[in-house]
Amino acid sequence: MSTTFFTKIASPKAIGFISTRFHGTDGVTLEARKWARLFEEMGHSCYWMAGLLDASPQVSHLCALAFFKHPEVAVLHEKLFGTTTRSREVTSQIQAIKEKLKDDIYRFIERFKIEVLVPENILAIPMHVPLGLAMTEVIAETGLPCIAHHHDFSWERERFTLNGVNDYLQAAFPPLLHGVEHVVINSMAQKELARRFGIPSQIIPNVLDFETPPPGLDEYNFDVRREIGLRDDDWLILQPTRVVLRKGIEHAIELVRRLKDPRAKLVISHPAGDEGNEYMTLLQERIADAGIDVRFIAERVGETRGTTADGRKVYTLFDIYPHADLVTYPSLYEGFGNAFLEAIYFGKPVVVNTYAVYARDIDPLGFQTVEMTQLVSAEVVSKVRTVLQDAALKQAWAEKNFQLGVKYFSYSVAKRKLYARLANLFGEGF
């Protein structure tokens, strides 16, 4: 379906996105930007409120207290989890921050005359409990139509299991309110939301612009291999994720070790996440034991092209993908799988661990991949060698996977589903 199908609407809306941050390349920010682009193609206007922003001040409202790393919020957060109770003083702190945030949300709504609210993940995962409560109360008080976009829920993260705010989690993460369209990114979340809260939801998976051919080599990015110290005949095996435990990068290290080929070079594109340095230390030990060549290039990869402090080129991740011979995606858990979509968008063979969402929502669609199940087996290694050395097979996989991406995970798919959400809220022909 053409991306221009839903461009003519009778009543354009002012749509307000609200979250803890819209900044950088985290998954929530990236998907919110995609939604905004699709809404704007329909003729709507989009505005932003968060505690960390990179949107223009002309279309955004910065509220520092909305950021989950704000000192006042971070100190409070530490008191809410790992315990079964909270003090009356802590309850008062939650309520005080909530009231300040409500004032800012109302200012945002009034300034931009917001007609539709889009809370991005703040009514799902309790990284900022007062913000979720504030958002819930504003929806209840104003009756503004709302499309609540849920990426991760509290029950999907072990660290939220023991908590002293279960009353708030039941009330606002997420809330059951009139005029709220709940959107999740996979079928497991849809089923659990219905089972736990009796809340119906629709699935809008993460998407990519498959309607536009992927960028390739140009005058800027042609030298990526040379700049990171690789030869033209090396196998650039790309791990395009942050260095966090759930990404299962030790499996990528094991794969390269077992390939036993000096051409195999593992390239890790992103830095460590917010979970400390223990996992990085573990990986460094595994790399030393394996005796393989691994390149950590996070300092050379940014949101935009530019230069480092010492004058070296900074590339985007989309500058790196065209050089990759193989993508490793051995994640133990993912809410969806953006790196998987990026790999098939660029026509790269991918080794994927069959994490639950992949197994249920992606694998049945027929993508050609090298699958592993928590183990780099001899069969996995053999398939990787085959696809690395068989250009015709690699091309056949790339063509089939790209067409499946167009069919199931393109902007047209998301636009059609977003239009339906608005039609549910305002009626057909809005």
Dihedral sign (CA 73, 76, 78, 81):
negative
Q: How far apart are CA 241 and CA 249, in angstroms?
A: 9
The tokens describing 290, both together, are 């394996």
pLDDT score at 26: 84
pLDDT score at 8: 52
The Cα-based distances of 269 to 103, 227, 249, 319 in angstroms read: 40, 14, 12, 11
**Which stretches of the chain drop beneath a pLDDT of 50?**
1-7
Among 148, 161, 156, CA closest to 192: 156
Task: Name every residue whose Cβ is closer than 8 Å to that of residue 45 and which is 6 or more positions away in sequence.
Answer: 12, 13, 14, 15, 59
Q: How many CB atoms lie within 10 A of CB 428?
A: 10
pLDDT score at 5: 44
Q: How far apart are CA 374 and CA 332, in angstroms?
A: 8
Task: Name every residue whose Cβ is closer than 8 Å to that of residue 89 and which is 6 or more positions away in sequence.
Answer: none
Task: Name every residue whose Cβ is closer than 8 Å to that of residue 318 and which is 6 or more positions away in sequence.
Answer: 214, 215, 346
Residues of the chain with CATH 3.40.50.2000: 14-207+411-426, 224-408
DSSP 8-state code for residue 272: B
Dihedral sign (CA 184, 190, 192, 196):
positive
Among 103, 100, 114, CA closest to 60: 114
Query: Contact 418/202 with Cβ under 8 angstroms?
Result: no
User: 399 by DSSP, 3-state: which?
Assistant: helix
pLDDT score at 47: 98
Dihedral sign (CA 110, 112, 116, 118):
negative
User: 314 by DSSP, 3-state: which?
Assistant: strand
Name the superfamily (CATH) of residues 14-207+411-426: Glycogen Phosphorylase B; (3.40.50.2000)
pLDDT score at 92: 98
Report which secondary-structure segment, H or E, holds 46.
Answer: strand 45-50
Architecture label for domain 224-408:
3-Layer(aba) Sandwich (3.40)
